[in-house]
Amino acid sequence: MCIRSTLFTAALTLASITSVVSQTSKTLLVDRPTGNDPIRIVKVTSGAAEVKRDERQFPNEYAWETTFDAGDDWLRDISFIIKNVSEKKITYIEISCVVFETPNWQEELTKHSYSANPVLGQASNVVGWRPDHALYSGLRGTKTQPDSRRRSPFELPPGGEFNMTLEDPKNYPTLKSNIEARQPISTATACDATISAIFFEDGTRWSAHKYWRAAQEPGRWTEIAFENWANSTGVAQ
């Protein structure tokens, strides 16, 4: 009886050690919406736990960084609670995150600045439908199939909040296998994330902290001031 108890205690201790060992430092850098941007990231979570901003300062006012301990599949477990602080209904949100080995951001960008040494991968997630104008490529002159063939519609009303994962869960196995084809997934310890694009019910768009309306030429966009966007209908003049 004593031997069984000892073995059971040893097994629990080993499991505990293994769990701790598997948790390593991870860093998430977020291009955080602020000012006149239409959304806010209310909370960032890793699994069930909220992660907080660290003390590292950046010249870029939008940069928000957090460092925390997590397992190898941490990219699968990151979520953002996004709030619509604009007066317009949001119908599409796109998130992307470039995966690196380390949080030495400038060094990583330099290291992966040529095609022979691409970044480890890119996590991404999308909800909703883009307007017809956004389906055109201004560079290639082609049009992709409607988003209605790929996913369900989405609406985030003014004041509404939405919990969105960094990576589409059904695509995570592919992201992981692509990284592991080059090197162990455990080496992917940093990710540079941004809200890539948002579309509104009136067809206007927000990206890179700027507002846009559809130009007359398919696939092209015209930047507009926030004040003009707030009163716009998205129709080219």
Give yes or no for a contact between 26 and 102, defined as CB atoms under 8 angstroms apart.
Answer: no
- Provide the CA 158 distance to its chain's centre, in angstroms: 21
Q: CA 102, CA 192: separation in Å to the nearest integer?
A: 11
Give yes or no for a contact between 9 and 181, defined as CB atoms under 8 angstroms apart.
Answer: no
pLDDT band at 45 (very low <50, low <70, confident <90, very high): very high
Please identify which residue in the block is written with the tokens 């063939």. Answer: 149
Kindly report which listed range (1-15, 44-58, 115-129, 150-164) carries the lowest average pLDDT score: 1-15
Q: What share of the chain has pLDDT > 90, as a percent?
A: 74
Give yes or no for a contact between 78 and 43, defined as CB atoms under 8 angstroms apart.
Answer: no
Burial 217-232 (b: 16+ CB within 10 A, else e): ebbebeebeeeebeeb
pLDDT in tens, 109-167: 888 876 667 899 999 999 999 999 999 986 777 899 999 999 999 999 999 999 999 99
Is the backbone of residue 159 left (phi > 0), alpha (psi -120 to 50) or beta? left
* Residue 11 reports pLDDT greater than 70: no
Parallel, antiparallel or unpaired: strands 190-200 and 24-31? parallel
